[in-house]
Structure 1
Amino acid sequence: MMLEDEHEGNGSLVGKSQQYLGEKQQANGKPVTNGKDSVKQEANGKCDMSRKILTMYSWQEIQRHNQEADQWLVINRKVYDVTDWAKRHPGGHRVLNHYASEDATDVFRAMHLKLDIVKLYLEPLLIGELSPEEPSQERNKNPQLVEDFQELRRTLEAMNMFKAKWVFFFLHLAQILILETLAWLMVWHFGNGWLMTIFISFLLLISQMQSFFLQHDSGHLSMFTNSKWNHLMQKFLMSHLKGLSAKWWNNQHFQHHVKTNIYPKDPDIDVGPLFLVGDLQPVKYGKKKIKFIDYEKQHLYFYMVGIPLLVPLYFNIKSIQLMYLQRCWEDIAWVSSFYIRHFIMLGPFYGIFGTILLIYGVKFLESAWMIYVTQMSHIPMKMSREENRDWFSTQVLATCNIEQSFFNDWFTGHVNFQIEHHLFPTMPRHNYHKVAPLVRSLCAKHGLPYVSKPMLEAFGDIVRALKKSAALWRDAYYET
């Protein structure tokens, strides 16, 4: 639910705000406000929204508006009609679709760092507020847990835990550029022998790993005061250094963050028919007698197919598909620069075919690393259909941490604190270990598990979870 960054491929949202404001209408067909007037009022501090008599809604009424063509959501007891805005949402329209008719207060706050900018877009979408007798969240949620989590966030904000250390990110960027330069200097000086090729591949692999972490920060954090610079940095890191569409990554990854391990809203767990994960999907396939492959052996071909092909095949196909279908010319140009740079640096020594082999050899190695880093914290955890839990419970039950150590922090880019990363996506990763004790304490207070594992155990749990899912499919498939 990212509003403060630039709209991918469409320039600055702030610069285009006037054409968006004034397009929304209330349910009765009357316009909420005129776009130009709204922008002027925002600038002059004279917005008369508080003087309007807002329509009061019950949760029963709000929950009728949960379709893609008619979607409302609640933020801080205010009701917003986001039906038309969803098409322009920088984080992708599905992120808003997933929260239609729900209280989105905590996820909205979690995904937006600069609230002053976001307010510019919220006001024209406002159509009413919750009736005074209605609770702030849906009746099935625990109001005390929600209140405690919001108090925790206020405490962390007061502690400046959401303030990034520029030196931390600058040093990581410097590391990436040094590794890339060193790889070119090594092949230029020593040639393209087998031993040197292996060493160069290792340097490029480390560079790719660190680029992933840094682009992840640029996607979640407002690393720069000017959102255009933040937008440019993400394009540079994701598309120029990694060769993937930044827009594709954002659309996928934001869905994963807002509905973690919720089937089918989280695209990261919707991996059928190749793999069946969790408890629901295997039973569904089994009862329908679906057997594209022998799922009883999915934990074995996870190593042969899933690990090596995620990045070089699946990621690249999905990235190219989005850029082509949505005509993302900016992303196409940035991704092209990734290949041009490699052909200029390595082409004279390896030729076109050899350079392509080297690029995808590195991606092949990176794929194994990415699978372990991203999946060991999610595949073994709770997966379910939409249960409309509060934000805190959803993230804690769907994620787990990997024990802290110097190596674990470096190997995972500090996202071994996956629980904290999901609860506070805009928090700089160098602060996760500082807030972990407070999150653990809140879990203990409300009887929620706070799972932290050794890394090797977490690796093994991926395979054990796949075997468990395979057994559920088998039992349902052969059930008479």
Structure 2
Amino acid sequence: MANPSVVDTRGSDFARLARRISDAGLLDRRPVYYAVRLSIVVVAYLGCWALFAWVGDSWWQLLVAVALAVVFAQIGFVSHDLGHRQVFRTRRPSDVTGLLLGNLGIGLGWGWWTSKHNRHHANPNHEDHDPDVSPAVIVWSTDQVARSSGLPRFLARHQAFWFFPLLTLEAWHLHVASFKALLAPATKRPWMELVLLTGHVVLYFGAVFTVLPFGKALVFLIVHQGLFGLYLGSTFAPNHKGMPVLTKNDKLDFLRKQVLTSRNVRGGLFTDVALGQLNYQIEHHLFPNMPAPNLRKAQPIVERYCAEVGVSYLQTGLFDSYGQALRHLHEVGAALRR
């Protein structure tokens, strides 16, 4: 392992950090870990649907909806790792498993989401290139506020208060966007993705409306999809929201572009599981193909190195991260309130 007290002057700042991470063996695959994790989420998924069938026509199904929302999100986290090639060494098993879990399992387009997420990683928090800070509903910078109109401009005045309620619609947005993306000329395997997404819709709505009467079925859908979207959004919000938003005038090297726009969330095992280990967002952005269980081990190495080269490294608690994000959103809309 490289000695952190010795300054390595070879290559870029990131190249020197990458050598330390590689020497520590943290880029090595973790097949046993992912075999166990995949088994757990698949068993939990099938178990929740078995419980749904067993409970039948009852308002207790709302508790099943809560459990399913958690399981859907956990499958989303595993799909995220598959998209970064953390699980398998080659593309084909990653794509096959991602299509089955994403499209068929939870109704999110594997190809579209992976492409969008890779664009986010290439230019995090860049208002021109990161699709996650496009001003579709929420606006993320004062420049976006100045250019906004319609619903985004209306919401921007008090968007910090709207943020979490809007997340209850996020799952529906992702489902619709997954289907719309199939019309894009650059989409790979559109027919396969369409068949799997349609299969999810038919099985999901068929099961809900077969087991439950219409009224209970609607409530089940609202609770399940609302909590699924809220959970997903709440795990991604602490990572970048409230961090600097970059423009074409910002010229940063890879290390600084990834570190300065990302925020880590402190916590133990519960936080790691609840956030899909994306609470180590800085390490994940620097090394997106690093297996998730290695991110915790990489964290102190990255933090020490950033201190050595004078790069600001932000790590905070979960609730403080939400506070920082909401304060940023509120400040962005200040001009409209005046």
Scaled by the length of structure 1, what TM-score is found?
0.63
2:186 aligned with 1:310, yes or no? no
Answer yes or no: is 1:440 the counterpart of 2:303. Answer: yes
Structure 1 residue 199, shift from structure 2 partner: 2.3
Over the matched positions of the two proteins, sequence identity in percent amounts to: 22
> Is the contact made by 1:285 and 1:473 (CA closer than 8 Å) also made in structure 2?
no
Determine helix, strand or coil for the equivalent of 1:425: coil
User: How much has 1:353 moved relative to structure 2?
Assistant: 7.7
Structure 2 unaligned spans of 5+: 1-7
Taking a change above 3 Å as real, the CA distance of residues 325 and 198 of structure 1, as seen in their structure-2 partners, is same
CA-CA distance at 1:202 after TM superposition: 2.3
1:54-453 equivalences under 5 Å are: 147-195=12-60, 197-221=61-85, 223-272=87-136, 274-282=137-145, 284-285=146-147, 292-293=153-154, 295-304=156-165, 306-312=166-172, 314-326=173-185, 328-343=190-205, 345-350=207-212, 358-386=220-248, 387-453=250-316
Alignment of 1:32-43 (within 5 A): none
Alignment partners' CA distance in 2, 1:391 and 1:409: 26
| Counterpart residue identity of residue 254, structure 2 | W
CA deviation string 1:271-318 (max 9, x = no partner): 24x322134323x338x99984152212222233x2211221x21222
Secondary structure in 2 matching 1:194? coil
Partner residue in 1 for 2:329: 466
Q: Deviations over 1:325-352 (max 9, x none)?
A: 4471111111122223335644431267
Structure number, greater radius of gyration:
1
Give TM-score scaled by structure 2 length: 0.88
Supply the distance in 1 between the matched residues of 2:215 and 2:108 (Cα, whole angstroms): 20
**Structure 1 residue aligned with 2:5:** none
Tell me the residue number matched to 1:104. Answer: none
Q: Aligned pair count?
A: 327
Q: Tell me, yes or no, if the aligned pair for 1:402 and 1:416 is still in contact at 8 Å.
A: yes
Cα distance in structure 1, aligned partners of 2:93 and 2:57: 37
Alpha carbons 1:245, 1:319 under 8 Å: kept: yes
Distance in 1 (CA, whole Å) between partners of 2:214 and 2:34 is 34
| Alpha carbons of structure 1 residues 472 and 390: separation in structure 2 relative to 1, 3 Å | farther
TM-aligned CA distance change 1:177 to 1:359, over 3 Å: farther
Instruction: For residue 240 of structure 1, report the CA deviation from its aligned partner.
Output: 1.2
Q: 1:474 to 1:351 in 2, by over 3 A?
A: closer
SS of match in other structure, 1:377: helix
- 1:113-159 deviation per Cα after TM superposition (whole angstroms, max 9, x unaligned): xxxxxxxxxxxxxxxxxxxxxxxxxxxxxx96962321221232232
Q: Which consecutive aligned stretches of 4+ in structure 1 deviate over 4 angstroms post-superposition?
A: 143-146, 288-291, 343-347, 351-357, 472-475
1:180 and 1:203 in contact (8 A); partners too: no
Give the direction of change, closer, same or farther, for the CA distance of 1:466–1:222 in structure 2 (3 Å limit): closer
Code of the residue aligned with 1:393 in structure 2: it is: R
Letter of the structure 2 residue corresponding to residue 169 of structure 1: Y
- The answer to whether the Cα contact below 8 Å between 1:146 and 1:390 also exists between their aligned partners in 2 is no
- Whichever residue aligns with residue 234 of structure 1, its letter is G
Cα distance per residue 1:62-82 (max 9 Å; x no partner): xxxxxxxxxxxxxxxxxxxxx
Which digits, 9 at most, give the CA deviation of each residue in 1:331-381, with x for residues without a partner? 111112222333564443126786565345312101111222111221110
CA spacing shift, 1:268–1:146, aligned 2, 3 Å: farther
Q: Is the 1:261–1:382 contact (alpha carbons within 8 Å) kept by the matching residues of 2?
A: yes
Distance 1:227 1:464 in 2: 40
8 Å contact kept, 1:280–1:384: no
3-state secondary structure, aligned to 2:117: helix
Shift of 1:173: 1.7
Unpaired segments ≥5 residues, structure 1: 1-142, 476-480
Higher helix proportion: 2
The whole-number CA distance in structure 1 between the counterparts of 2:17 and 2:213 is: 56
Superposition CA RMSD, Å: 2.6
Whole-Å Cα distance in 2 between the matches of residues 252 and 206 of structure 1? 23
Give the match for residue 68 of structure 1.
Answer: none
Higher relative CO (Cα under 8 Å, sequence separation at least 6) belongs to 2
Change over 3 Å in CA distance of 1:259–1:181 after alignment to 2: same
Residues 38-57 of structure 1 mapped to structure 2, 5 A cutoff = none
Alignment partners' CA distance in 2, 1:145 and 1:448: 18
Deviations 1:386-407 (A, max 9, x none): 3231010001110000002122
Whether the 8 Å contact between 2:72 and 2:228 is mirrored in structure 1 is yes
Check conservation: 2:107, 2:200, Cα contact below 8 A: yes
Structure 1 residues 144 and 351: CA distance shift in structure 2, 3 A: farther
Q: Tell me the distance in 2 between the aligned counterparts of 1:260 and 1:352.
A: 43
- Identify if the C-alpha distance between structure 1 residues 233 and 341 changes in structure 2 by more than 3 Å, giving closer, same or farther: same
Q: CA deviation at 1:259?
A: 0.1
Deviation per CA, 1:40-97, whole angstroms, max 9, x where unpaired? Answer: xxxxxxxxxxxxxxxxxxxxxxxxxxxxxxxxxxxxxxxxxxxxxxxxxxxxxxxxxx
Q: 2:155 & 2:46 partners in 1: Cα distance?
A: 46
Aligned residue for 1:324, secondary structure, equals: coil
